[in-house]
Structures are given as structure tokens and as C-alpha cells.
Amino acid sequence: MATSLPANRRRSAPPEPVCCAWTDPATYKPPAAAAARCAQITARPRKRHLRLRESRGMSATAFVHVSDLHIGLSPAVDRAAERLCQALLREHPGPVLLSGDVTHNGRRAEMERFRHLFGPLIRAERLIVVPGNHDRLGDDLGQALMTGGRVQAAQAGGLFIVRLDSTGEHNRRWLDGHGEITGLDIDEAEAALRGAPPGAQTILNHPLPLAHDNPVEALVSLLGWPSARELRNGALLLSRIRGLCDAVLHGHRHVPAEIAPWPSDPRPLRIFSAGSSTLQRSFRAFRSARAPACWIPLDEPAAGAGAPALA
């Protein structure tokens, strides 16, 4: 979509990369070279395109994707989470989709810290959250983050957002960090997307497999450890929502990436990993589920306005 940039910000920028366009998407197994290229292209987030606040007319389909806050991991991470909330309040008025691992140890104290740091967004009902495996540790915060069924849908402006909780009881153990999707989960997610209003852009907020974060994860994958497995039934889920969904948003891995399994489809599905928004100190913002995104660093002050002091 063409956009007029201010003169002082006009510059050429490549489109958001489409990587891992696999020749056999039904198997959902990227070639090693494609997976490496995907991680290489997106491992260092770069700011692209116009800021969302400079185009308020598109706010009906604008949103932000964040994940893996890991509140409680360290004081530095908690400070980054505070900066993240300030940046979201400053840069973007729309919904914020949070794809799990809100806390690091699943403790109630970490949950209270999250509620304190993100209080303005929570009170404005802008946060749309699914739990991650870390949230099921300790005091088990799964239901505190997403009360009710494993599949839930809601409309936000021109967006129709389906949440899918892919955690399970096995996530109560540290070494069992892999997700779980049942046949019923897939049936309900497909039914929810089929029920989207005509013309709405559809989003599935849910973890999916991704490039490895580091050599240790690559090694445990090679050894076949369950915690490093791809999400079982992930390929089936994608095949069932193909043509019904514009974007799948997920977390779990800390390497940000974008995957387009069927780029030639009339309604191509794009899969985005947010990475860890607190560890990488940046987040991805979208004008719509069908448009390129931009990366916004947490500590960049708002142009033309005084930024709030950051601790």
C-alpha cells in the first residue's frame, strides 16, 4: 500500500522479507538452509516504514505484536518491560497481542509485577494475551492470563482475533516446554476463523515452531528432546486455516522471524515470531495483518515530542 512519507523521513526501504517459502508446505519442514536464512534475515530487528501514529486513519486494522516478556528473570528485564509499556502507550493506540511467557517462573508475584507495569494497557482493555509454557510453572498462571476455553475469538476494529492456548499440564515441568494442540483445538480454531465478519482481517495468536535460538537448542532438537520439538499438529493446523487467516502470531523462541508457507495463495498466510520483546528491546508494529510491519526500538524518543523519562 503506497504511503506518503514526510520529506525528512523519506528513504528507500526493502519490503519485509519473505523467507522460508517451502516447496512442500504440507510437511511443514523447512530445509536447513531456508531456516538459517530466515533467522539470519530477521535476527537483528530493523525499523522500517512509517510509524503508526503518523497515520491514524489506519488504526482500525493496526496492532502490535509482543512476546516473551519473562518478567521476573532479572531487574534489567523488568525495566525493559516497563519501557515496552511506555513505548506502546506513546507509539500506538490499538490492540497489543502478547504471545505468552509473560512471566519467567509462573509466580503470582511476577503476575502482580506484570499487572503493575502494564496497568494502563490492561485498564484500557488493549492487551490480548495467551499463556506460554513459562506461565504454567510455579503457581500456574494459565487461567489468570486467559480465563475460559482454549480457543477464544473477539473483534477489535477491523481485526478478528482468535486466541489459541497451546499449553498443557506437561508444561508444569521445566523440561517439558513444548506445546500441545488437540484435534478439538484445531476444529474450534477453524470454526472461529470461518465465523469472522466479511471483510475482517483475521489473526491467530498462538505459538508455532521456529528457528533455534542458539546452538544448544539445535543440539537438543537433534537429540530429539520433547522440549525442542516442533508443535505437534502444527502442520495440520496451518493446512486447516489456509485461506481463512491473514497472520499467525507466536512467541516461545527468542529469535524473531517471518515465514510465508504459501506466498502465491490469493490470501497468503504469514507467520510471525515476535522474539523476546524485552531481551531484544524492540517490537514489531503493523498497520494491518496484510501489510509490512516496522520494528520500533524501546528507547527511541517520539519524533517531535518529549519522550517520558525512562528508568
**Tens of pLDDT along 175-189?**
676 778 899 999 999
The pLDDT score that the predictor gives to residue 113 is 97
What are the domain boundaries of the chain?
Answer: 17-289
More confident residue, 160 or 5: 160
How much is the pLDDT for 92?
A: 84
| Mean pLDDT computed over 74-98 | 93
* Structure confidence at residue 177 (pLDDT): 66
pLDDT, average across residues 117-127: 95
pLDDT band at 112, cuts 50/70/90? very high
Mean pLDDT of 243-261: 88
8 Å CB contact between 88 and 117:
no
Residue 300 scores a pLDDT above 70: no
- Tell me the per-residue pLDDT of 223-251, one tens digit each, with 9 for 90 and over: 555 555 556 788 888 899 999 999 999 88
Q: Greater confidence, 174 or 242?
A: 242
Q: What is the pLDDT of residue 4?
A: 33
Whether 58 has a pLDDT exceeding 70, the answer reads no
Would you identify the CATH topology of the domain 17-289?
Purple Acid Phosphatase; chain A, domain 2 (3.60.21)
Please check the confidence at residue 111 and state whether its pLDDT lies above 90: yes
Mean pLDDT, the chain, integer: 76
Q: Is residue 93 scored above 50 in pLDDT?
A: yes
What percent of the chain is modeled with pLDDT above 70? 68
Q: What local confidence, expressed as pLDDT, does residue 10 receive?
A: 32
Instruction: Provide the pLDDT for residue 99.
Output: 92
pLDDT of residue 62: 93
